């Protein structure tokens, strides 16, 4: 009788593990953007969760206990890479003790390895430059052309982990590509008025968006990435805005608005709050919704 | 692995041996023609051998290439524009300095600020300079070492191996083993290094139970991530009970506790080791609120007698709120509370002075990150013990209230101003007022964000 209890416990654990291995492939993504694309191409064969919410800056997350559970159970971990998750993913991976998703194994996918990153520095990087990402700017999902690349990288890995469903993954990838290309043409034409316009951004996070739609980011509210603006830096910016007749400032929903309001007051610059991620607003549930919302937010400031 | 090239290799070996047979041996009996033929044959064989060796080395190269290349790369699109530098070796140096002044003199302040990394003198204190090195050892282990440099109140530089441990990476069933010299899993605060604290000093009750340096020792612990729907982890540890960082157990011979002089006692068998257990649970109460609840226990021998034991229990609660929209991790509110109780058998059975010491303490601290880089904090503490304890610095009735303000210039540096209001029974003036200004810098690898 004494041995019965441990045997039941052990048996239940084995049963639980066998059950979980038969269910859909469990994908955990560090951001909602990667999660949304993984859902598009994984379809019914995958179950996708995001570790962070699109309403927050993914760089400044912390390894919450609930994340440990999610990573512990994951078959595949998708990360933005390029140092985006450097502050919280390493301790999370250590706590989650899931060998499948450790670097070097098939369950660990640094999506940035499949993207041509912008903003790489070929000069020695110093922290006196602020939060500079030497390996390149990590906000690459904000170019819909990179959406296709992200999907491609994810599908390559899905096929490797789950070859039985290769045909489905490839078909879903092609379908996603077709839909995205079609929508991209619409977004391009909607934002044609913005082409070559100078724009101020709050943080160095919209360079891919600018690259995709042809506008120019000529300055940032932050004097250095991650460093809060000061009165002196704002004064310099006012001068720049006035001298170059810059009409638009773009900012993520989670940043403080005081600096932007101040600039608006002093120069009349229009402030467009752009959702930067899937999930940044309640109505942004897919990767397509994200660009629909961005285009809509920008079009409010189109000259009538 | 394909071994089909092995017979070829043998063949080449035999040919090579044949070539070693001196041609001279035949020369005497055979004609020049024969010699010529032999020479030709030898040349052909040499050519053959060279060819074979060339083929084998190409084959080997290709095989090696196939083995060393991660399989996944074959299927990835070639993105030549990306250079990914992967290096999981981390090295960092943290410096923590403070300047402060108090209404009491250095001796009394040292009693109030009993943590080894607390600012504890009027003037300047080098609280903690810590070198941290860590990384992945291989597929099965990670390892880390933290080395502390300190300058004590006599001006002497102290070097200390704070922690050096390995952790397993790939055990099944949610198990993980840690071994070496490390902080004991007890509560939330004990494991935190000074640069991760929300205040310039450590809580009073922790200094009393675990000494100035926190509870750490040599040993091993196993932890198990339970397959529950919420985060639930159980830790069991066994560590050496002896040393100056194992206060409440076999520490500091010749020092006194409640009139008992501590003896130099060794662990004689496995029942004399320090055992620890912790059960930690974590919940997301909503999108904006997360909670950790933990229970901890410690069991081990103490040095007031040859058979005496100590038991410590603790409960900890941590809540963190962060709104849906947050910039750089701000704003946030966190609330951290721990309560501890110690049962200390002083004196062996049969000793007429034998007594049971009961100590307890609680601290509760709230941090409010009200705008990016700015954090306001408030901590309230209480500690007390049974018996005649009024003049005992480490057992008297003690209260402390500490408001502070922290400014993080960037992710790698901060400035903190803290005021301590102390009420301590052992002080002749009963109260003390102290003010500390702390500065911290971080060099090297990106430190982990704290939940």
Shared-domain flag, residues A40 and A88: yes
| Pick among B79, B279, B369, B372 to test the A interface (most A CBs inside 10 A) | B79
DSSP 8-state assignment for residue A43: G
Please tell me which of the candidates B76, B175, B451 has its beta carbon nearest to residue A153.
B76
Q: What integer pLDDT is reported at residue A199 of this predicted model?
A: 95
For position B449, what pLDDT does the model report?
A: 74
Chain A neighbours among B 429-448 (CB < 8 Å)? 446-448
* Residue B186 pLDDT: 96
Per-residue pLDDT at B61: 61
Same domain for A152 and A111?
yes
Residue A179 sits in the same domain as residue A283 = no
Residue B67 makes CB contacts below 8 A (sequence gap 6+) with B1
A23 and A85 part of one domain? yes
Residue, of B202 and B66, whose pLDDT is higher: B202
Cβ atoms B451, A65 nearer than 8 A? yes
Where does B287-354 show beta strands of DSSP type E? 289-301, 309-321, 332-346
* B353: CB partners within 8 A, 6+ apart: B259, B260, B346, B347
> Which residues lie closer than 8 Å to B205 by C-beta, 6 or more apart?
B338, B340, B360, B361, B362, B363, B381, B383
Residue at A274 is within a domain? yes
Q: Which helix (H) or strand (E) holds B364?
A: strand B355-371
Q: Are residues A80 and A203 in the same domain?
A: no
Question: What backbone phi and psi angles, to 5 degrees, belong to A273?
Answer: -90, 115
Q: What CATH number is associated with residue A234?
A: 3.40.50.1980
- Please, where are the H alpha helices in A110-213? 144-161, 166-190, 207-213
> For residues B5 and A45, which has the higher predicted lDDT (pLDDT)?
A45
- For residue B215, the tally of other CB atoms under 10 A from its CB is 25
* Contact across the interface for A114 and B79, Cβ inside 8 Å: yes
Q: Spell out the residues 6+ positions from residue B169 whose beta carbon is closer than 8 angstroms to its own.
A: A94, A97, A99, A102, B136, B139, B140, B141, B142
Least confident of A46-60, A242-256, B74-88, B141-155: B74-88
Establish if A60 touches chain B: CB-CB under 8 angstroms: yes
pLDDT average, residue stretch A231-240: 93
Do A30 and A162 share a domain, yes or no?
yes
Q: Does B135 touch chain A (CB under 8 A)?
A: no
- The domain in which residue A238 lies consists of 191-299
Q: Among partner residues B284, B329, B371, which is closest to A66 by beta-carbon distance?
A: B284
Residues A93 and A241 in one domain: no
In the predicted model, is pLDDT for residue B3 greater than 80? no
- Chain A residues whose CB is inside 8 A of the B322 CB are 56
Cross-strand pairs, A224 = A227
Query: Is A200 a residue whose pLDDT tops 50?
Result: yes
Mean pLDDT value across residues A250-269: 92
DSSP at A270: E
Task: Please tell me whether residues A53 and A180 are part of one structural domain.
Answer: yes
> A9 and chain B: CB distance < 8 Å anywhere?
no
- Assess if residue A285 is contained within a domain: yes
Residue B12 has pLDDT above 60, yes or no: no
Q: Is A170 on the interface with B (CB under 8 A)?
A: no
Distance (Å, whole) CA B297 – CA B312: 6
CA distance, residue A74 to nearest chain B CA (Å): 13
B139 neighbourhood in chain A, CB within 8 Å: 104
For B223, the closest chain A residue by CA position comes to A95
- Chain B residues whose beta carbon lies within 8 Å of the beta carbon of residue A90: 88, 448
* Interface contacts A/B by beta carbons within 8 Å: 151
Across the interface, of A106, A227, A255, the residue whose CB is closest to B72 is A106
The structural domains of chain B, with segments of one domain joined by +, span 6-74, 90-444
Task: Answer whether residue A51 is part of any domain.
Answer: yes
Which of B45 and A93 is assigned the larger pLDDT? Answer: A93
- Residues of chain B with Cβ-Cβ distance to A65 below 8 Å are 230-231, 280-283, 290, 292, 451
Using an 8 Å CB-CB cutoff, list chain B residues near A281: none
Specify the length of chain A in residues. Answer: 304
Is A172 among the domain residues? Answer: yes
pLDDT at residue B27 is higher than 70: no
> A274 CB near a chain B CB, below 8 Å?
no
The answer to whether residue A16 is domain-embedded is: yes
Chain A residues whose beta carbon lies within 8 Å of the beta carbon of residue B70: 104
What digits encode the pLDDT tens for the residues A146-173? 999 999 999 999 999 999 999 999 999 9
pLDDT (average), residues B229-257: 90
Determine which of A9-23, A187-201, A266-280, B227-241 has the lowest per-residue pLDDT on average. A9-23
Query: Are A102 and B371 within 8 A, CB to CB?
Result: no
Q: pLDDT of B92-129, one tens digit each?
A: 999 999 999 999 998 899 889 988 889 988 999 888 99
Residues 247-286 on B with a CB inside 8 Å of A are 280-284
**At B42, is the pLDDT very low, low, confident or very high (cuts 50, 70, 90)?**
confident
User: Final residue of a domain: which of A133, A151, A186?
Assistant: A186
Q: Is the dihedral of CA B298, B301, B302, B305 positive or negative?
A: positive
Query: Any chain A CB within 8 A of the CB of B411?
Result: yes
Whether residue A166 sits in one domain with residue A24: yes
CA within 13 Å, CB half, B118: 27
Mean pLDDT of chain A: 90
Q: Give residue B22's pLDDT.
A: 41
Helix, strand, coil percentages, rounded to 5, for chain B: 20, 45, 35
Q: What is the mean pLDDT of chain B?
A: 84
What pLDDT shows up at residue A3? Answer: 55
Would you say residue A9 lies in a domain? yes
B90-444 in CATH: which number?
2.40.160.10
Task: Please name the residues in contact with B171: beta carbons below 8 A apart, sequence gap of 6 or more.
Answer: A97, B177
pLDDT, tens digit, 9 for 90 and up, residues A59-113? 888 888 889 999 999 999 999 999 899 889 998 998 998 999 998 899 999 999 9
Q: Among A165, A186, A207, where does a domain finish?
A: A186
Q: A194-203, B17-26, B366-375: which has the minimum mean pLDDT? A: B17-26
- A86 interface with B at CB cutoff 8 Å: yes
Distance from CA of B444 to the nearest CA of A (A): 10
Whether residue A282 lies inside any domain: the answer is yes
CB B209 within 8 A of CB B247: yes
Interchain CB contact of A136 with B (< 8 Å): yes
| Letter string b/e over residues B353-388, b meaning 16 or more CB atoms within 10 A of that residue's CB | eebebebbbbbbbbbbbeebbebebebebbbbbeee
User: Quick one: which of B394, B370, B361, B367 has its CA closest to B379?
Assistant: B367
Chain B stretch 300-359, residues whose beta carbon is closer than 8 A to a beta carbon of chain A: 322, 324-329
Contact residues, chain A, for B449 at CB < 8 Å: 60-63, 87-88
Q: How far apart are CA B150 and CA B386, in angstroms?
A: 35
Q: Any CB–CB contact under 8 A between A89 and chain B?
A: no
pTM for the predicted model, two decimal places = 0.80
Q: Are residues A174 and A47 in the same domain?
A: yes
- Is B203 a residue whose pLDDT tops 50? yes
pLDDT tens-digit profile of B389-446? 888 888 999 999 999 999 998 888 999 999 999 999 999 989 999 999 999 999 987 7
* Tens-place pLDDT, residues B330-370: 999 999 999 999 999 999 888 888 999 999 999 999 999 99
In a domain, A304, yes or no: no
Same structural domain for residues A166 and A205?
no
Q: Do A66 and B282 touch (CB under 8 A)?
A: yes
Which of A150, A167, A186 is the endpoint of a domain?
A: A186
- Reduced to 3 states (helix: H, G, I; strand: E, B; else coil), residue A178 is helix
pLDDT at B56 over 70: no
Tell me the three state secondary structure of residue A36: helix
How many domains does chain A contain in total?
A: 2
CA atoms within 13 A on the CB side of A139: 22
pLDDT band at B158 (very low <50, low <70, confident <90, very high): confident
pLDDT of residue A285: 96
**Whether residue A220 is found in the same domain as residue A295:** yes
Integer CA distances (angstroms), B357 to B166, B168, B257, B260, B312, in order? 36, 39, 9, 11, 12
């Amino acid at each position: 009788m004494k041995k019965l209890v441990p045997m039941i416990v052990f048996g239940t654990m084995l049963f639980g593990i066998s059950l979980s291995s038969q269910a859909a492939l469990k994908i955990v993504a560090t951001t909602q953007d990667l999660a949304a694309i993984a859902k598009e191409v994984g379809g019914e064969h995958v179950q996708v969760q995001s570790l962070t919410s699109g309403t927050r800056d993914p760089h400044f997350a912390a390894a919450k206990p609930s994340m440990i559970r999610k990573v512990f159970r994951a078959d595949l971990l998708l990360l933005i890479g390029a140092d985006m998750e450097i502050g919280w993913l390493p301790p999370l991976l250590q706590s989650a003790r899931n060998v499948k998703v450790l670097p070097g194994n098939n369950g660990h996918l640094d999506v940035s390895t499949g993207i041509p990153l912008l903003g790489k520095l070929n000069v020695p990087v110093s922290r006196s430059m602020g939060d500079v990402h030497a390996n390149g700017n990590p906000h690459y999902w904000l170019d819909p052309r990179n959406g296709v690349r992200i999907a491609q990288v994810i599908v390559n890995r899905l096929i490797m982990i789950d070859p039985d469903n290769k045909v489905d993954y490839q078909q879903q990838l092609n379908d996603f590509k077709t839909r995205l290309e079609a929508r991209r043409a619409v977004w391009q034409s909607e934002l044609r008025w913005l082409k070559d316009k100078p724009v101020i951004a709050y943080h160095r996070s919209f360079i891919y968006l600018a690259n995709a739609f042809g506008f120019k980011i000529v300055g940032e509210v932050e004097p250095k990435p991650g460093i809060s603006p000061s009165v002196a830096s704002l004064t310099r910016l006012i001068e720049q805005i006035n001298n170059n007749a810059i009409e638009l400032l773009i900012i993520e929903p989670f940043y403080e608005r005081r600096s932007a309001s101040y600039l608006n007051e002093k120069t009349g610059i229009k402030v467009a709050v752009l959702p930067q991620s899937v999930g940044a607003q309640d109505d942004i549930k897919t990767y397509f919704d994200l660009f629909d919302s961005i285009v809509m937010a920008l079009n409010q400031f189109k000259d009538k | 692995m394909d071994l089909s090239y092995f017979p070829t290799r043998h063949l080449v070996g035999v040919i090579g041996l044949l070539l070693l047979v001196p041609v001279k041996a035949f020369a005497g009996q055979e004609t020049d023609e024969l010699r010529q033929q032999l020479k030709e044959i030898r040349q052909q064989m040499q050519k053959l051998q060279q060819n074979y060796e060339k083929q084998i080395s190409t084959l080997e190269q290709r095989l090696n290439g196939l083995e060393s290349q991660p399989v996944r790369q074959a299927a990835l699109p070639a993105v030549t524009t990306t250079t990914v530098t992967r290096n999981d070796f981390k090295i960092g140096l943290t410096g923590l300095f403070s300047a402060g002044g108090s209404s009491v003199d250095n001796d009394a302040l040292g009693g109030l600020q009993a943590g080894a990394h607390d600012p504890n003198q009027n003037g300047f204190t080098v609280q903690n300079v810590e070198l941290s090195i860590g990384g992945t050892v291989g597929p099965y282990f990670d390892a880390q070492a933290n080395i502390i440099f300190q300058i004590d109140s006599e001006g002497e530089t102290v070097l200390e191996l704070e922690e050096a441990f390995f952790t397993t990476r790939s055990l099944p069933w949610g198990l993980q083993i840690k071994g070496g010299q490390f902080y004991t899993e007890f509560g939330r605060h004990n494991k935190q290094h000074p640069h991760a604290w929300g205040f310039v000093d450590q809580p009073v009750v922790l200094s009393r139970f675990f000494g100035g340096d926190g509870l750490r020792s040599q040993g091993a612990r196993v932890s198990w991530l339970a397959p529950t729907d919420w985060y639930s982890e159980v830790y069991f540890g066994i560590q050496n009970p002896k040393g100056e960082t194992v206060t409440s157990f076999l520490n500091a011979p010749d020092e006194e506790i409640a009139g008992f002089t501590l003896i130099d006692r060794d662990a004689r068998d496995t029942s004399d080791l320090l055992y620890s257990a912790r059960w930690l649970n974590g919940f997301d109460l909503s999108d904006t609120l997360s909670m950790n609840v933990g229970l901890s226990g410690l069991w081990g021998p103490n040095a007031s007698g040859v058979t005496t034991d100590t038991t410590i229990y603790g409960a900890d609660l941590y809540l963190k709120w962060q709104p849906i929209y947050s910039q750089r991790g701000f704003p946030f509110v966190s609330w951290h509370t721990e309560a501890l109780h110690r049962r200390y058998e002083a004196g062996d059975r049969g000793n007429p002075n034998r007594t049971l010491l009961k100590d307890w303490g609680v601290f509760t601290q709230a941090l409010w990150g009200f705008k990016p880089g700015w954090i306001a904090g408030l901590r309230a503490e209480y500690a007390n013990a049974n018996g005649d304890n009024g003049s005992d610095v480490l057992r008297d009735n003690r209260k402390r209230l500490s408001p502070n303000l922290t400014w993080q210039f960037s992710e790698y540096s901060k400035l903190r101003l803290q005021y301590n209001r102390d009420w301590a029974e052992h002080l002749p003036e009963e109260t003390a007022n102290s003010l500390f200004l702390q500065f911290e810098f971080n060099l090297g690898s990106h430190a982990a964000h704290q939940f």
